[in-house]
Structure 1
Amino acid sequence: MMNIPDTFAEISSLLFDSITTSGCGDIIFSTDQYSPESIKSMERKHRGCGEKLIIGGGATKRPTEWKQFLTNEENKVQFIRLILKQWSDDNCASKLQGRKVIFICEECAYLTSGDGLTTRKTEIPLLRSSQEETDTRVVLYSQYAANDHNTNVRIKSPDSDLFFILLHFAGTMGINILLDTKIQRKSRLINGTQTAAELGQEKCTAVLGLHGFTGNDATSAFRGKGKLLPLTKMFKAPQPVTNLAKLGETWTVTEALNDDCEKFTWALYGEKKAEKVDDMRLNIINKLCTKHGKSIPGNVDMALLPPCRKSLTQHVHRVHFQVALWTRANINNPVIPSVGQGHGWLMA
């Protein structure tokens, strides 16, 4: 059984050993940034967060409720700063000799050692980005690796967002992208560049839009529909692919795009007679509540119904905004409008 580290210094050391003994070449270790007005920040506040604790240094004891500790953004920022401080120490020089570790958080630090005795830390302005999530900034890191004459980049992450973002960009980055992930607790190495070539650019972009439309950390999902059914529905005809590929093109949702998303929602729920989602809801309610002209006892689970037009419109606005962020992952500092300006959210 693996011993659980007792202090923050031990956790930091364990992380450092895990990446420097992995047999890889140069490494980029990246964490999320935390903007108080971002989508993710609002979602975290909605879910609640743990108590803020003070990390006095490496000797500070690890809190018993570790997951609760990590729900507080300020706790994570303190922890990340401590890790960078520990990894920049000369005690890590022997494992940095002959290789480099790029640590990206609030700053972009290039850590290396020429003699194995002292650690050198320098700044890399090229990798600075206003994008909050590592999932989005990985595209910049892959471009950096390609410009540094690497032919392959291996990205390790369990997050599904990352796969769909990379799929959208894989065909244009000039480097072979391998995604090291887990599917149903089994390790998988997926060749993103090959998958993107097989699908083609339009389908890769449409799949990214579909991922946002069917739910992720920042957007809601259609209960009981999952990911596979919508993917099958989308690939059955060319029009849904073309329509969903338009998500995120600009920051504004057109009426035509909203109508296209409504049509795809009809297909998602298998309702062919209705032309509006409100009519579709009524048809489904009637089917659930009546059988051969008689009422069925019991309540109808409203969560299984498609959203009404008003709710669907707000969902489309949120999805469009999120996908627009993803499709600008190759830009260090994209101009991003406030989420509260007609994009489906209200600032609390």
Structure 2
Amino acid sequence: MAVLIVEGRAHKLTSSNGKVEAHEIHTIYSNQEETDTRVVLYLHHAAAIGYKDAVVRTPDNDIFVILLYHAHEIKLTVYLDTGSGKHRRLINVTEFAESLGKNYCAALLGYYVWSGEDCTSAFKGKGKVGPLKKLQKNPKFQEAFARLGDEWSIHHEVDESLEQFACVMYGHSRELSVNTVRGKMLRKMVSEDEKLTAKSKVDLARLPPCRAALQPHNKRVNHRVALYKRAHIAIVEKPKPYEMDEKRKRLTGTDMVIKTHFASVFD
């Protein structure tokens, strides 16, 4: 028996007396757009029909963190077959997830997407390992990252905590505003006269994003994590980005507008 999956539809292929028959498996039809998320649905199906173990073969880190989050609810032992050649290895995802705990796995998923993945931007020069070490030392930020994606709209307090963590990531643990951190870092870059000229050796990419850029990033991250957290659901009813903005506009009476003039970089 083999299962062939194309565009979200699964078919069981069986061979008997030289004849191949195909039967659609309706229970795992999905509107999930990516294999990264559909894998979780397939693992639940495998457990439901009696399998005790499953191996996922991929070099993709996205699937690893998604599996870590869902491993606590999948009723079989999940292994990840990753790497190639002498670097190929088999990871017991279920055992690893249990050792980390459910809440920390949720925080890792949120952090992984926030710090940059396929569809979200990264913070230049920061990577993932350094900031992760800071995250490990602070339960408050772990809780904020773990709450990402619980709802389709990001909670205000989560948004504020992520901004504060961005300040910590850029070496200003006492600050709450990325705009304040940008100002301090820029003044340090331009020396004592605090004048930005063509001769100033300033790399603006070393600055954290301003709040007007960070907030849409956080919203995008929340949307992505919400999809990942719902990977076990076959048909996901997800709001469109413009629908989210229309809802926010009705509640606040304002448009979602990002400043584009140069001065806003320092506001």
TM-score, normalized by length of structure 1?
0.66
**Judging changes above 3 Å, is the alpha-carbon distance between structure 1 residues 249 and 151 closer, same or farther for their aligned structure 2 residues?**
same
> In structure 2, what is the equivalent of residue 191 of structure 1?
92
Given residue 190 of structure 1, which amino acid in structure 2 is its aligned partner? I
Offset, 1:185:
8.3
Q: 2:116 aligns with which of 182, 194, 215?
A: 215
Unaligned runs of 5+ in 2: 246-255, 258-267
> In structure 1, what is the equivalent of residue 102 of structure 2?
201
> In structure 2, what is the equivalent of residue 259 of structure 1?
160
> In structure 1, what is the equivalent of residue 32 of structure 2?
131
How many angstroms apart in 1 are the aligned matches of 2:85 and 2:114?
23
Q: 1:280 aligns with which of 160, 178, 181?
A: 181
CA RMSD, 1 decimal: 2.4
> In structure 2, what is the equivalent of residue 10 of structure 1?
none
Mapped contact 1:140–1:332 kept (Cα < 8 A): yes
User: After superposition, what is the alpha-carbon deviation per residue over 1:223-255, rounded to whole angstroms, capped at 9, x for unaligned?
Assistant: 111111121111112111111101000011222
Q: 2:51 aligns with which of 143, 150, 162?
A: 150
Offset, 1:266:
1.1
Offset, 1:295:
8.6
1:306 aligns with 2:208: yes
How many angstroms apart in 2 are the aligned matches of 1:265 and 1:151?
42
> In structure 2, what is the equivalent of residue 268 of structure 1?
169
Within-5 A mapping of 1:2-151: 99-115=1-17, 117-151=18-52
TM-score, normalized by length of structure 2?
0.86
Q: 1:325 aligns with which of 219, 227, 236?
A: 227
How many angstroms apart in 2 are the aligned matches of 1:208 and 1:230?
14
> Share of identical aligned residues, percent?
36
Given residue 81 of structure 2, which amino acid in structure 1 is its aligned partner? D
Offset, 1:303:
1.7
How many angstroms apart in 1 are the aligned matches of 2:232 and 2:8?
18
**Judging changes above 3 Å, is the alpha-carbon distance between structure 1 residues 175 and 286 closer, same or farther for their aligned structure 2 residues?**
same
Within-5 A mapping of 1:211-250: 211-250=112-151
* Worse-superposed segment, 266-275 or 125-134: 266-275
Mapped contact 2:9–2:28 kept (Cα < 8 A): no
How many angstroms apart in 2 are the aligned matches of 1:190 and 1:106?
27
Given residue 226 of structure 2, which amino acid in structure 1 is its aligned partner? A
How many angstroms apart in 2 are the aligned matches of 1:322 and 1:342?
14
Offset, 1:102:
3.1
1:167 aligns with 2:30: no
SS of equivalent residue, structure 1 residue 340: helix
Offset, 1:334:
1.7
> In structure 1, what is the equivalent of residue 262 of structure 2?
none
**Judging changes above 3 Å, is the alpha-carbon distance between structure 1 residues 291 and 181 closer, same or farther for their aligned structure 2 residues?**
farther
**Judging changes above 3 Å, is the alpha-carbon distance between structure 1 residues 292 and 195 closer, same or farther for their aligned structure 2 residues?**
farther
Count of aligned pairs between the two proteins? 247
User: After superposition, what is the alpha-carbon deviation per residue over 1:153-173, rounded to whole angstroms, capped at 9, x for unaligned?
Assistant: 000111111111100010111
Given residue 240 of structure 2, which amino acid in structure 1 is its aligned partner? S
Mapped contact 1:103–1:111 kept (Cα < 8 A): no
Mapped contact 1:281–1:308 kept (Cα < 8 A): yes
Mapped contact 1:258–1:316 kept (Cα < 8 A): yes
Mapped contact 2:3–2:10 kept (Cα < 8 A): no
Mapped contact 1:107–1:123 kept (Cα < 8 A): yes
1:341 aligns with 2:243: yes
Unaligned runs of 5+ in 1: 1-98
How many angstroms apart in 2 are the aligned matches of 1:121 and 1:247?
40
Mapped contact 1:142–1:153 kept (Cα < 8 A): yes
Mapped contact 2:10–2:28 kept (Cα < 8 A): yes
Mapped contact 2:8–2:31 kept (Cα < 8 A): no
**Judging changes above 3 Å, is the alpha-carbon distance between structure 1 residues 241 and 273 closer, same or farther for their aligned structure 2 residues?**
closer
How many angstroms apart in 2 are the aligned matches of 1:202 and 1:183?
31
How many angstroms apart in 2 are the aligned matches of 1:122 and 1:299?
65
User: After superposition, what is the alpha-carbon deviation per residue over 1:52-106, rounded to whole angstroms, capped at 9, x for unaligned?
Assistant: xxxxxxxxxxxxxxxxxxxxxxxxxxxxxxxxxxxxxxxxxxxxxxx32333425
